[in-house]
Amino acid sequence: MREHPVKMNKMNESPERAKELMHLQEDIHSILADRRLDKGRDRWTDMLNTVTVQDVECELSRPTGKFTLERLTTFISPSAEIYLEQMAQQARKLTIQRFGKTIQLYAPLYVSNVCINCCRYCGYNADTHVQRTRLTIEQALADADVIASEGFRHLLLVSGEDKEFVSTDYLCELAEKLSKKFSSLSIEIYPMTQAEYSRVFAAGIDGVALYQETYDRDTYAQYHLAGPKADYNNRLDTPDRFAAAGMRNLGLGFLLGLSDWRIETLALAQHASYLMKKYWRAKIDFSFPRIRPATNVQDLWPHLVSDANMVQMMLALRLCFADAGIVLSTREAPEFRDNLMNLCITRMSAGSKTNPGGYASEKNAAEQFQIADDRSPQEVAQVIKSHGCEAVWKDWDASFNK
């Protein structure tokens, strides 16, 4: 295997230069730039292609659960594709050691599909003419009642960039009412300020999921044409803000299909490693959203990810991050989800509706994307049980935050 680019650079550095690099690496922007993971990434393609089968076997012989960029590069390389079975065995063993034979179930509740961003891959694109719906507090609670009646106690609130309606006040009021029925509340919405995150945390929201979509700056600009989300730097800074606000669960990911998944995985891992060191009390979750069909969204993408490569990515991250949650949504087909239950998955959504009001009232509101697994929560729970695992509806209580 060719010498790792970062290691190769540092072999000839002066002590002064080493100190300077340590200072630069204090923020995620400098970490990605120093390793050329945010642009000018061609060297990583060369690095990945020079990994040998001997390199893979060497890494597989070492203890699992520790991250280095070299180790992850080896596991996601083309040469590692023939070792998925060995990787799967090690990932399964490590997952059981850390999480037991359990899979936590959660449901998303979409409160608004209004959005002011123009993202080329999303059904909520502001330029797309679809039926827009905003849920009042009462309507959101009606959807939540249906979700709670199915057994869920972990709820994810989702919204387009609709800050005018889905305001901090709205989220705080909704969270205070929902906390009576749900043990854990998370949000997947627009970037907020640290003060706003602190407010919603105090109201009962303990987790935030926010995906960079792509860590490649040039590709990011191609797909985010207008709106606040076009600001790459602001989005990259957001996990620092919600981590500093005290959030317990930090959800990271990228949209599979926009750029080379192997290099994106390296950037994602660097981001996670940085957050783990700086906010060590919080827990990191990795999510793996693949592009799905949506209204007025193209169906040809330059970097679509195969099932095998998606599995390789998940296994590689598990072997490098022993305690990270690995989340799989209903974007994926039932058979694919079922086959992953015994490997490294720790959380799954079930019975999802991606349109506001989809559980209780507004059946015709526009979806963000089409789900692939439309089984009921009870059906998914039964399959989890048939795989020798336990479906966990609640493993955390909000009172622990106090």
Question: Mean pLDDT, to the nearest integer, of 303-314?
Answer: 95
- Mean pLDDT across the chain, nearest whole number? 90
Question: Mean pLDDT, to the nearest integer, of 240-250?
Answer: 97
120 and 203: one domain?
yes
Question: Mean pLDDT, to the nearest integer, of 250-263?
Answer: 96
- Higher model confidence: residue 187 or residue 292? 187
Out of 49, 64, 93, a domain closes at: 93
370 and 389: one domain?
yes
Share of the chain above pLDDT 90, in %: 80
Helix H segments across 321-376? 334-340
pLDDT digits 0-9 by tens, 196-234: 999 999 999 999 999 999 999 999 999 999 999 999 999
Q: Is the pLDDT of residue 25 over 70?
A: no
Q: What's CA 269's distance to the chain center, in Å?
A: 11
Which structure tokens are listed for 129? 């003419």
157 and 285: one domain?
yes
DSSP bridge partners of 391: 103
101 and 89: one domain?
no
Q: How many CB atoms lie within 10 A of CB 340?
A: 22
Question: Mean pLDDT, to the nearest integer, of 158-169?
Answer: 97
For the chain, how many structural domains are there in total? 2
155 and 177: one domain?
yes
pLDDT digits 0-9 by tens, 122-147: 888 899 888 899 999 999 999 999 99
Global confidence as pTM:
0.90
- Helices H, strands E: what count in the chain? 16, 11
129 and 215: one domain?
yes
Q: Is the pLDDT of residue 257 over 70?
A: yes
Lowest mean pLDDT among 99-113, 254-268, 282-296: 282-296
Residue 354, pLDDT score: 85
For 39, 50, 299, the CA distances from 43, given in Å and listed in that order, are: 10, 11, 29
Lowest mean pLDDT among 86-95, 268-277, 365-374: 365-374
Residue 389: give the domain boundaries: 97-401
Which structure tokens are listed for 200? 């919603």
DSSP annotation string for 177-193: HHTTT-SEEEEE-S---
> How sure is the predictor about 14, in pLDDT bands with cuts at 50, 70 and 90?
low
Q: Is the pLDDT of residue 9 over 50?
A: no
Question: Mean pLDDT, to the nearest integer, of 35-56?
Answer: 97
Q: Is the pLDDT of residue 26 over 80?
A: no
Out of 64, 93, 122, a domain closes at: 93
* CA angle (132 as vertex; 193, 224 as ends), nearest 5: 50
Q: Under a CB-based contact definition with an 8 Å cutoff, are residues 333 and 372 in contact? A: yes
> How sure is the predictor about 399, in pLDDT bands with cuts at 50, 70 and 90?
very low
Contacts of 63 (CB under 8 A, 6+ apart): none
69 and 175: one domain?
no
> How sure is the predictor about 261, in pLDDT bands with cuts at 50, 70 and 90?
very high
For 6, 13, 395, the CA distances from 16, given in Å and listed in that order, are: 17, 8, 48
Out of 38, 62, 93, a domain closes at: 93
215 and 150: one domain?
yes
Contacts of 324 (CB under 8 A, 6+ apart): 272, 283, 284, 285, 286, 317, 318
31 and 72: one domain?
yes
* CA angle (287 as vertex; 285, 290 as ends), nearest 5: 175
270 and 386: one domain?
yes
Q: Is the pLDDT of residue 296 over 90?
A: no
**Residue 138: half-sphere exposure toward Cβ, Cα within 13 Å:** 0
Question: Mean pLDDT, to the nearest integer, of 15-41?
Answer: 77
Helix (H) or strand (E) holding 57: helix 53-60
For 50, 143, 314, the CA distances from 79, given in Å and listed in that order, are: 9, 47, 16
Residue 122, pLDDT score: 87
Residue 365, pLDDT score: 65
42 and 161: one domain?
no
Task: Tell me how far apart the alpha carbons of residues 127 and 365 are, in angstroms, rounded to a whole number.
Answer: 16
Residue 395, pLDDT score: 62
CATH code of the domain in which 213 resides? 3.20.20.70
277 backbone φψ class: left, alpha, beta (φ>0; ψ -120 to 50): alpha
pLDDT digits 0-9 by tens, 101-125: 999 999 999 999 999 999 998 888 8
> How sure is the predictor about 364, in pLDDT bands with cuts at 50, 70 and 90?
low
Question: Mean pLDDT, to the nearest integer, of 322-343?
Answer: 94
Task: Tell me how far apart the alpha carbons of residues 287 and 306 are, in angstroms, rounded to a whole number.
Answer: 16
> If we measure between CA atoms, which residue out of 310, 345, 349, 339 comes closest to residue 324?
345
349 and 271: one domain?
yes
Question: Mean pLDDT, to the nearest integer, of 153-182?
Answer: 97
Residue 292, pLDDT score: 73
